[in-house]
Amino acid sequence: MIPISESINRSARDDEVHLAPSDISFARILVATDFSKTAALALKTAIAIGEIFNSEILLVHAIPPFIYVRGQEPVPRETLDAELDSVKEQMEQLVAGEERST
């Protein structure tokens, strides 16, 4: 019969985190960008990790909200669409500029 404390300690050792590449996997990597140099470095790092693990890279950017002032007219839809189109173009340029081995 195994004492309870020994059983608990053995169980804890078996559940420890292992960081060997064969024990972990990154199916998807989410990268947020604000188009800064730091964000570009984060994307390059994510791509390097993604190539090792054959991961899908998801790149996101949040458009800052337009501030509404009481009594002010809402921002026209055309302005919102133009901002979205501008960000889409920046995202496409960012992705096109990244070197990939595949």
pLDDT of residue 59: 94
Is pLDDT of 38 > 90? yes
The pLDDT assigned to 80 comes to 85
- The residue type of 52 is I
Task: State the Cα–Cα distance between residues 45 and 39, nearest whole angstrom.
Answer: 10
Q: What percent of the chain has pLDDT over 90?
A: 42
